[in-house]
Amino acid sequence: MRPTPPPARAILITGASRGLGAALARRFAAPGTALRLVARSEAGLAAIAADCEGQGAEAETAALDVRDAAALAETLLRWDAARPFDLVIANAGVTAGTPPGGGLESWADADRVLRVNLLGAVNAAAPLLPRMMERRAGRLVFIASVAAFRGLADSPAYCASKAGIWAYGESLRARLRGTGVDVTTVAPGFFRSDMSAKFSGIHPFELGLEEMAERIARAVEAGHGRAIIPRRMGYPLRLLELLPARWADAATRKFRFTISG
């Protein structure tokens, strides 16, 4: 049996001011836990930090854009020097795609999605990885999506960004084997949030926000290398890639939506 990792005591969460990041912060908040929360919204971070402190955790925040690699690295390394991280959750994300009026997603939207979702995750993990390897301890968690498994017609940049995160996490886990640093790649399906509400189409197997956070937290605490939640959403999308392209395209032809905001 795989040994259960000890509870995390110093935790970084990016995209922590709302949605899944905020729910994960509340889920991990406990006496003796130091939460380090990053997002762009200073007011949102303050509210979540207050919630976590009400549960007995210590919370410190930084209003940063994960696209700003230099500023992010400076803050993360300063935090790590004061209290070394044993859990890093790269969660920050945005979405874009086919607008309500139709047409293609804009170049600006595609650029923003790829920089926040993919490069933002790399920017959060890369500065801390050498220190974690030196300590031979810690876990990196990359929040991808079931959209990583199949390019969907109405969100090409989002799917590409999440596929990149999935591949990056999978690569790191293989590379870090035996170093004492572990990696969990997570592929959530739909869950109720402001981001999910922007999708006008069907939301199959949608979970509640707190339930999704709980399932992810349990997978991380159990030391799982992968978590696809729910599997009945993610696994069929993975299997589609084994089919000829025309069949896979036909299987998702009715899964269309527009994305607002």
**How far is 101 from 1, CA to CA, in rounded Å?**
53
Tokens, residue 237: 């999308």
Contact 11, 85 (CB under 8 A): yes
Q: What's the distance, CA 42 to chain centroid?
A: 20
Contact 228, 205 (CB under 8 A): no
Report which residue type is found at 82.
A
Report which residue type is found at 43.
A
Of 258, 25, 9, 8, nearest to 155 (Cα)?
A: 258
Question: Could you say which of 158, 166, 168, 190 is catalytic?
Answer: 158
Q: How far is CA 139 from CA 66, 133, 232, 255, in A?
A: 19, 10, 26, 35
Active site residue 235: no
Of 56, 209, 121, 164, nearest to 156 (Cα)?
A: 164
**3-state SS record for 208-251:** CHHHHHHHHHHHHHCCCCEEEECHHHHHHHHHHCCCCHHHHHHH
**How far is 101 from 37, CA to CA, in rounded Å?**
36
Active site residues: 158
